[in-house]
Amino acid sequence: MIIVGVTGNTGAGKSTVSTIIKNNTGALVIDADVLVKELMAPGEAYFNDVVALFGQEILATGKKHKGQIDRSKLAKAMFEDDEKREKLNKLTFKYVGKKTKELILANKEKEFIVLDFPLLYEGGFDKICNCVIGVVADEKTKIARIKERDRITPEQVKARLEIQIDEEKLNENATYIVKNPGDTRYISLVNDVIKLVHKIKKDEEEKKKA
């Protein structure tokens, strides 16, 4: 089993890279954002801890989602309070870490397991990876992607990017770097990622021989 961490700033295209790996290797992709959504279900321990931290103000009030955590409200509260954001991150690392270990143990037969984690290094998850792929994109591309995805202002996008990992640190720490410049070069990105998968296999085989 080869555990590959995929990380980078929001809007860089981590999920796109993870999906390409999955489609070409049959890898299990453990997406931190998906896990968080599942753990936020009312009644879950993570849900209770998050509400205790931020208060009832982050809960949805509409009929359809009443009583659930409103992720837009949570994001706003989180980005406005550095101390609470740090506490939230610690809670997230705790619960996501536990679930991740369970999923890895249940999928030992997989050749590849991909951890699609935006806070891979911050949570110490890089320590359980054989290697880490850092996904990078220019700021203009990231802002455009986030604006379209989250329907927020350019100012809000920049505020989010400012608190994330510096790409210089990503370049220093990641085992491999993948540049994801935009949708117009998707075929080129697929080819780059497939080549990288072959390189990872080769590099891991050489490590075993050493």
Mean pLDDT of the 5-10 span: 88
Choose among 145, 156, 186: nearest CA to 72.
156
**Residue 195 burial (C-beta neighbours within 10 Å; 0-12, 13-18, 19+):** exposed
Listed in sequence order, the residues at least 6 apart from 145 whose beta carbon sits closer than 8 Å to its beta carbon are: 11, 13, 137
Question: Does residue 177 lie in a domain region?
Answer: yes
Would you say residue 132 has pLDDT above 70?
yes
What pLDDT shows up at residue 31?
A: 97
Question: Does residue 116 lie in a domain region?
Answer: yes
The percent of residues above 90 in pLDDT, for the chain, comes to 60
Per-residue pLDDT tens over the stretch 69-91 = 998 899 889 888 889 999 999 99
What pLDDT shows up at residue 207?
A: 87
At residue 48, the 3 state secondary structure works out as helix
Would you say residue 161 has pLDDT above 80?
no
Question: Does residue 208 lie in a domain region?
Answer: no
Tell me the average pLDDT of the chain.
88
Question: Does residue 146 lie in a domain region?
Answer: yes
Question: Does residue 127 lie in a domain region?
Answer: yes
What pLDDT shows up at residue 11?
A: 74
Mean pLDDT of the 2-17 span: 89
Per-residue pLDDT tens over the stretch 19-72 = 999 999 999 999 999 999 999 999 999 999 999 999 999 999 878 888 899 988
For residue 64, what is the domain's CATH number? 3.40.50.300
Mean pLDDT of the 145-163 span: 67
What pLDDT shows up at residue 154?
A: 67
Question: Does residue 101 lie in a domain region?
Answer: yes
Fill in the amino acid letter for 79. Answer: F
Question: Does residue 17 lie in a domain region?
Answer: no
pLDDT level of residue 183 (50, 70, 90 thresholds): low
What pLDDT shows up at residue 181?
A: 76
**Residues paired with 136 in a beta bridge:** 179
Lowest mean pLDDT of 4-8, 67-71, 114-118, 137-141, name the range: 137-141
pLDDT level of residue 177 (50, 70, 90 thresholds): very high
Dist. CA 136–CA 134, nearest whole Å = 6
Question: Does residue 16 lie in a domain region?
Answer: no
What pLDDT shows up at residue 72?
A: 86
Structural domain range at position 78: 2-9+25-196
What pLDDT shows up at residue 62?
A: 79
- Total count of domains within the chain: 1
Dist. CA 209–CA 1, nearest whole Å = 16
